[in-house]
């Protein structure tokens, strides 16, 4: 090893490795450790050069300062303490550990039995102890220089009333993009290219929601099956960008954000603070488990085991102030240092579980609400986890928006042709006030979606009745069984023109419904031009053509659908009915008695109590804000004629779009004087009205 470095006391704050222009301060929290060694590696991360005991322990933080350390230095930790799983302690100094506050990682995890704190194969399982050194197969932490020339970076600060989310996988969106240089495909730099930024701007979305970009690992089982953790919901570092999306410089993420901001596009991160990649009591020891297992994780009544609210084997214990600090420090780092505009929280109820279950006044919510930075960014929850009482849709505090799974399910049921859907459909189209209208919450509380990464793509939703997940090597047992999908008459790809025509119409129906609903719409990337996963509704491990956006050989149908979506986004963005920051009341808005919203029968009359019965599959809604809009929806298998409301008296209507027409768009076409409009089965039409 090299000559020993001189280590000074340093400071217990900030946590992590901090370059101050002269040297580097190292600080690591561990309430139960007995000793902490900083391990320094060569530039390739292969040879351990030195182990330096951190000399000071202040307020449960181990710390030291190296005056001769510089950005780029590779390091890790070895933490000494009791290996006593029966008491919740899993210290094993033979294991190199990642710094929870590392701002960058170098290298990837190479699996072996040495990554486990116990002896794999022992009859005592995790009660045994393993003495092998795992450093050769571990990624290394990198000391970073945080300086970056942002210039005059103007955050778009898109109002909620104009926000349209677009859910994107950082690699999958560009890895097959023909206009992205080969060297940049699959990276943050690829997302920053003019071809991609221009596409997003032209499409009309306002906010990119990136699937997890925090450093994560590929599960050992997946690697052994030659698969990968494609989605990234397996975090191991909450400050470091995932290395596989970088060409080599962590600042590439900042460059991407800067280019997107210049185009007026926000960046929101899908973040996974509910669990880590260390799994259950039989999982590997990579970071938190070996630093202070009893503090970082929620332990069961028997502390050998974990209180698993996430279905992954463990749950971070955000009840502890230091774990809560880890989460809020990470969020603040990405908001301030990386200029991120908001966060979508995976399995968010797990972060708000106090001693007796989910709590709307949990410490996590209080911490964000009072934070001068985090209280001003976009906060979106996935409002469910797998614990008892885990479905909390509508039960998040003011200031939060929530993925509305009931919206998804209701809209799918309606266009599938299910009966008995109309009452709930009306509520979902009108912003779901039944779920969110309390404590001054607004329609922005509802993030509406039909498809997201988890489940069928839109094309697959209208092409498959059943999941086809054989490529995941789990016997097609994984993924949801009930997708509320309908294949329109054939399972999978077909050459039947009638079925293809119906599927294209159904896709237009779904898009039109989503973008004409009150609330905040979310579009799954690639849905606008027919992306398919071949019926796989759980492609979390498919880093290949199954999951990647295919930009090649787009059919005329695909191009027409993309134009249709652009038209809808322009219509939505320019109409005051969708910019309103209040729920509809069904109340008059002017002296004529015209209402902000009215529900209309096919005969043109307003719906009455008896019209909401279970035997109807048609509905219309009339938006009184000018220019007035009337939307007619026919999910029945029969053709239906709609009488346009108030046509005989005060309003002249023109057709804006009809999903039954190839391409769907017919701008400004006047409706015949008979004021009756025939609609074929399973179609939607939109009309603009003006007072005569």
Task: Give catalytic residues, as residue numbers.
Answer: 346, 382
Considering only CA atoms, which of 570, 544, 558, 551 is closest in space to residue 458? 558
Give me 263's structure tokens: 């185009």
Quick one: which H or E segment has residue 108? Answer: none
Cα distance from N-terminal residue to C-terminal residue, the chain:
88
Residue from 656, 658, 599 nearest 624 by CA: 599
The 3-class secondary structure across 402-447, one letter per residue, is: EECHHHHHHHHHHHHCCCCCHHHHHHHHCCCHHHHCCCCCCHHHEE
Chain-centre distance for alpha carbon 222: 22
Burial of 482 (C-beta count, 10 Å sphere; 0-12/13-18/19+): exposed
Strands laid side by side in the 651-658 sheet: 597-600, 618-623, 628-634, 683-691, 651-658, 665-670
Q: By the 8 A CB rule, do 565 and 511 touch? A: yes
Radius of gyration over alpha carbons of the chain, in Å? 27
Give me the residues paired with residue 523 across strands.
166
Give the relative orientation of helices 252-262 and 194-203 as an angle to the nearest 10 degrees. 40
Measure Cα distances from 627 to 334, 445, 656 in Å.
41, 25, 12
> Is residue 450 a contact partner of residue 514, using CB atoms and an 8 Å limit?
yes
Token duo for residue 408 = 């998804």
* Bridge partners, residue 597, by sequence: 623
**Mutual orientation of helices 497-515 and 556-573 as an angle, nearest 10°?**
20
User: Residues near 145 by Cβ (< 8 Å), separated by ≥ 6?
Assistant: 19, 71
Handedness of CA 109, 113, 114, 118 (dihedral sign): positive
């Amino acid at each position: 090893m090299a000559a020993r470095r001189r280590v000074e006391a340093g400071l217990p704050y900030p946590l992590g490795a901090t370059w101050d222009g002269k040297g580097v301060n190292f600080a690591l929290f561990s309430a139960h450790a007995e000793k902490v060694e900083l391990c320094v590696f060569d530039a390739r991360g292969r040879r351990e050069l030195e182990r330096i005991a951190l000399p000071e322990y202040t307020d449960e933080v181990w710390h030291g300062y190296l005056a001769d350390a510089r950005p780029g230095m590779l390091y890790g930790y070895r933490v000494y303490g009791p290996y006593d799983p029966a008491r919740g302690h899993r210290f094993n100094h033979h294991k190199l550990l990642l710094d929870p506050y590392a701002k960058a990682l170098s290298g990837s995890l190479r699996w072996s039995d040495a990554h486990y704190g116990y002896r794999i194969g022992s009859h005592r399982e995790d009660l045994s102890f393993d003495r092998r050194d795992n450093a050769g197969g571990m990624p290394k932490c990198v000391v970073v220089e945080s300086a970056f020339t942002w210039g005059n970076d103007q955050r778009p600060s898109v109002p909620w009333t104009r926000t349209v989310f677009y859910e994107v996988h950082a690699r999958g969106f560009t890895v097959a993009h023909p206009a992205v240089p080969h060297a940049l495909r699959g990276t943050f730099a690829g997302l920053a290219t003019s071809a991609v930024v221009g596409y997003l701007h032209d499409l009309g979305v306002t906010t990119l929601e990136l699937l997890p970009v925090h450093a994560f690992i590929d599960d050992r089982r997946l690697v052994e099956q030659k698969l990968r953790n494609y989605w990234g919901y397996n975090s191991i570092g909450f400050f470091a960008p995932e290395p596989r999306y970088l060409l080599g410089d962590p600042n590439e993420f900042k460059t991407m954000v800067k280019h997107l901001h210049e185009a007026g596009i926000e960046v929101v991160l899908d973040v996974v603070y509910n669990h880590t990649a260390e799994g259950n009591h039989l999982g590997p020891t990579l970071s938190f488990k070996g630093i202070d297992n009893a503090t970082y994780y929620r332990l069961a009544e028997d502390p050998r085991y974990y209180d698993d609210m996430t279905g992954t084997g463990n749950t971070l214990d955000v009840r502890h102030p230091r774990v809560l600090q880890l989460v809020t420090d990470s969020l603040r780092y990405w908001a301030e240092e990386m200029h991120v505009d908001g966060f979508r929280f995976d399995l968010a109820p797990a972060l708000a579980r106090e001693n007796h279950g989910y709590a709307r006044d949990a410490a996590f919510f209080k911490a964000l609400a009072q934070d001068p930075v985090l209280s001003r960014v976009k906060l979106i929850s996935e409002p469910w986890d797998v614990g008892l009482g885990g479905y909390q849709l509508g039960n998040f505090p003011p200031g939060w928006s929530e993925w509305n799974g009931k919206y998804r399910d209701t809209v799918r049921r309606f266009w599938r042709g299910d009966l008995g859907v109309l009452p709930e459909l009306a509520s979902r189209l009108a912003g779901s006030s039944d779920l969110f209208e309390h404590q001054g919450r607004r329609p922005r509380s509802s993030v509406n979606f039909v498809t997201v990464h988890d489940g069928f793509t839109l094309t697959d939703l209208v092409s498959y009745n059943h999941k086809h997940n054989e490529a995941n090597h789990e016997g097609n047992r994984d993924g949801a069984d009930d997708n509320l999908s309908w294949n329109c008459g054939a399972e999978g790809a077909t050459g039947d023109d009638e079925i293809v025509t119906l599927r294209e119409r159904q896709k237009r129906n779904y898009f039109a419904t989503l973008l004409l609903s009150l609330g905040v719409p979310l579009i799954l990337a690639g849905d606008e031009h027919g992306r398919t996963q071949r019926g796989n509704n759980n492609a979390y491990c498919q880093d290949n053509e199954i999951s990647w956006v295919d930009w090649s050989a787009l059919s005329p149908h695909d191009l027409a659908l993309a134009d249709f979506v652009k038209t809808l986004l322009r219509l939505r963005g320019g109409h005051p009915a969708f910019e309103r920051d209040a729920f509809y009341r069904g109340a008059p808005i002017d002296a004529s008695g015209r209402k902000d919203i009215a529900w209309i029968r096919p005969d043109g009359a307003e719906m009455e109590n008896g019209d909401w019965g279970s035997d109807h599959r048609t509905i219309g809604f009339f938006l009184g804000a000018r220019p007035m809009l009337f939307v007619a929806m026919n999910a029945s298998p029969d053709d239906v004629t709609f009488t346009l409301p108030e046509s005989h008296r005060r309003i002249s209507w023109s057709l804006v779009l009809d999903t039954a027409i190839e391409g769907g768009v017919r701008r400004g076409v006047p409706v015949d004087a008979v004021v009756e409009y025939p609609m074929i089965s399973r179609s939607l039409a939109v009309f603009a009205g003006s007072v005569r």
